[in-house]
Amino acid sequence: MLTIYNDQHALHQGQVEMFRGELVPCFEVPARVDHVRHELERRGLGPLQAPDAFDDALLAKVHAPRYLDFIAHAWDEWVALDAANATRDALPSYWPTRGMRTDVLPKSFPARLGLFSFDAGTPLMAGSWAAARHGAACAWTAAQRVLGGERSAFALTRPPGHHAGADFFGGYCFVNNAAVAAQALRDAGVERVAVLDVDYHHGNGTQAIFYERSDVHFASLHGDPLTDYPYYLGHADERGAGKGEGFNHNLPLPRGTDFTAWRAALGTALDGIAKVKAGALVVSLGVDTFEGDPISGFKLKSDDYLRMGEDLARAGLPTVFVFEGGYAVAEVGVNAVNVLEGFAQAAG
């Protein structure tokens, strides 16, 4: 298993996030990736490589230019408001809602921060753009390796990406790495790409980016949005729109779901991917489905992730893995690498 590693991920290290009415230490921390890297090295699962040179114009294929411009310069604007801001993260405090305009870009930085975000749990700091951009380069490079003949490749990066939409950040995500990988595969001529999101939380950003497209099939297993973040997307009746109708497949599951039920849903998702004749697979690999995760509600155990990897390999597709969530930090490395090892062993 070839791993493309983001050695700049620790530039993004939030101090606090808003969680249920109070500022708390961030759940999304550099140790998440550090544990995965150490476990990969301990098992000798494969080489780690740096990403290839990356053209920012590639990001504009999945993200709106005005959004990218904002994220790239947000920290400088934040500090320009008040020199004291250099010591604290930027968090939004108001957002446009129904009936308000989003087509006019406010001059006020706090107003634009709210315009381009959907929660107060995603702190932005000096290194956020550099870390997110380098993560996109990892995802793009992993796709290039698969296109070059590798059976699979893993983009080991943070911040994660699947909650980031074409023009908004949130859920700890700024750039949608899975979407970058899927678009790279499409650009290279793969007729249809499948994105399979196995994170506990629905990949609302990925769904939104591809919702009206038939060349990228999106499937997601996740906590029911009636009870779980991101709440406002991820229902089973969201099937795509326009040309994309029928190419969006959500499988929401109740809190307390164990691996037997989860695995059955995975089988259903993989059946759907086979039905649309996808030529390559991108896996948004979140391991916050683990029974010990502090902000999730499924009951998967560490050994279950080996079986997950085996099932993914049986799809028989060139596969790009992109690291997403997982917040039981000490176990994240074992669980993520179990998926990769199970995949590698089953794929031969």
CA torsion sign for 3, 311, 295, 137 is: positive
Contacts of 98 (CB under 8 A, 6+ apart): none
User: Across the strands, what pairs with 280?
Assistant: 193
Cα distances from 78 to residues 72, 93, 110, 135, in angstroms, run 12, 13, 8, 23
Options 9, 63, 163, 222, the catalytic residue:
163
| Cα 270 from chain centre | 19
> What count of Cα atoms within 13 Å lies in the side-chain half-sphere of residue 76?
7
> Tokens standing for 87?
């010591």
The answer to whether the beta carbons of residues 137 and 115 sit under 8 Å apart is no
Annotated active-site residue 163? The verdict is: yes
For helices 304-313 and 329-347, what crossing angle results, to 10°? 40
The answer to whether the beta carbons of residues 222 and 324 sit under 8 Å apart is no
Among all residues, which ones are annotated catalytic?
163
